Structure formats: C-alpha cells, structure tokens
Amino acid sequence: MKPWILWLAPLAAAAAGQTPLQQLFDAKLTPTQRASACFAIRGRSDPEAVAALSRALEDPGLLSCAAENLRIAGAVEALEKALSSDAPLVRATAVRTLGSFQKPELLQPISQAAADENALVAVNAVAGLSQYADPAVLPYLTALAKKGGMSGDLALERLAQLDSAGALGVARGLLSSPQIPDKLYAMLVIGAWGGASDIPELNKIAATNRETLSQRDRGFGFMPPINLSRAAEAAIAAIQARATMTPPNR
C-alpha cells in the first residue's frame, strides 16, 4: 500500500461518520474533501443548509461553491447579508451572484455596491447589474456612468448596449471629465452612435491632445498608454463612415 493512502485512511474514516454539513467545517479534512461536501449539498434549500453555506462564504476554499449553491437555492437574503462582509472577495462574489436573479428589488443594493471602496467589489457590482435586461436597470446604469471611473465606464459600456441614445447623452458629458479613460469610453460611444453635431467637439480633442497619455493607479494595474487625439480621430472617422453608408434597399 502506498504511503499517501495510509495517510489519507484516517481522514476518510473520520469523514465517513459525518454529514456533508459537518464535513464543510472539519479542519482535519483536506480542501478537496470539504469541497466535495459542498457539492454534495448542492440543491438543498433548507434553513440548516443555507445557514451553513452562508458561513462557508467566508472560507476562500468554499466561497465559489457556496455562492453557487445559494444561487441555486434561491437564497437571496443570505447573499444580501454577505454584502456587509469584511472580506472584499465575499462582497464581490455575493453582489455578482445577486445580479443573476434579475430581481427589480435588488437593483438598489447592487448599485450601492458599485460605490464600494474596493475596486473588485465595484466592478463585480456592475457585472451584477449587467445581467439585467429589464429597462428598470437603465436609471442605475445611467447614474453610475455619469460618475465615470472604472465602474462608471463599465456601466456606460453596458448602457450603450441597452439604450444607445441614453448612453450617447452621458458620453457627451464625459468628454469634459478630467479622467483619461472616461474620455476614451465616451469617444467610443460617440463614435458608434453620435452624429455630425459631435464632430466639432471631437476636433478640439484631436487638435489639443497630440501626446500619448497614461494614467496610473486605476483598477488592478496600469492603464496602457492612450492617445486621445487618435481616439478622437477614430470617432470622427466612424461617424463620417456611417453618414456615407447607403441605406439598404427595402
């Protein structure tokens, strides 16, 4: 018999007399055994299981499985409570999972999480909102997009997919933002949905921002160098190309 089998034998024997809920928190078991216990209770929505899974959210090794189990169980309240966790990774996972329910009453707490001081939580909150297709999400995406910043720019991107006219109005306002990425996202939207009336403002940016710019301390790393002049010229070209397109025959 191999040595590692002898080492695992006592653990297997100990686990054999426990329920999966007990195995979840048995420090003597291996991470794999505890993860298997988590999968074993998938589909359970009884109070005991939900309480155990809520506790398991705080364990990095069980977080993903526990959140998915709670989603399947429809345990919205437990996931909402997790938004107040001290661990950013727990808050981030919970808010993204809440978005999968697409419940109108969850729009407020999810959008509030988008203002979290931790960038990971904020980005996952926008990801949560982005799962909604209901027009009820539009005011929340619009409010976030107007603020700019990482989460705001992501919200603008999703807003453009759902409401191009609304996103265009927000993008025009962001052209005056002091943040380089805000301007870039704004010009992407204007290039896709704007018109001839946007070209004069874009020409100003093209003429006055010739140098390549970079912005540090944004998100999880450094932004790549950005040339706003070229971005403005690209937006102008996109607008002009759409203007010269021949409408399809009907």
Q: What angle do CA 109, 112, 117 make, to 5 degrees?
A: 135
Assigned domain for 111 exists: no
Assigned domain for 223 exists: yes
CA distance 29 to 218: 40
State how far the alpha carbon of 140 is from the alpha carbons of 77, 87, 115, 182, in Å. 21, 25, 12, 18
Domain count, the chain: 1
- Which pair of tokens denotes residue 102? 């697409």
Mean pLDDT estimate for the chain: 89
Per-residue confidence band for 98, with pLDDT thresholds at 50, 70 and 90: very high
Higher pLDDT, 215 or 174: 174
What pLDDT, in 10s, does the model give residues 130-147?
A: 999 999 999 999 999 999
Question: Which one-letter amino acid corresponds to residue 127?
Answer: A
Assigned domain for 126 exists: no
Q: How many CA atoms lie less than 13 Å away from 57 in the CB half-sphere?
A: 31
Q: Which of left, alpha, beta for 222 (phi over 0: left; psi -120 to 50: alpha)?
A: beta
CA distance 202 to 174: 12
Q: Kindly state the DSSP code that residue 16 receives in the 8-state scheme.
A: H
Percentage of residues in the chain with pLDDT exceeding 70?
85
Assigned domain for 174 exists: yes
When pLDDT is averaged across residues 62-74 and rounded to a whole number, the result is 98
pTM: 0.84
Assigned domain for 195 exists: yes
What pLDDT, in 10s, does the model give residues 6-53?
A: 444 444 444 567 999 999 999 999 999 999 999 999 999 999 999 999
Instruction: State the residue range of the domain holding 242.
Output: 133-250
Higher pLDDT, 167 or 212: 167
Q: Is a pLDDT exceeding 50 seen at residue 99?
A: yes
Which is it for the CA torsion 44, 47, 52, 56, positive or negative? positive
DSSP conformation letters of 102-154: --GGGHHHHHHHTT-SSHHHHHHHHHHHTT--SGGGHHHHHHHHHH-HHHHHH
CA distance 134 to 131: 9
Q: What is the pLDDT of residue 15?
A: 53
Assigned domain for 66 exists: no
Q: What is the pLDDT of residue 225?
A: 65
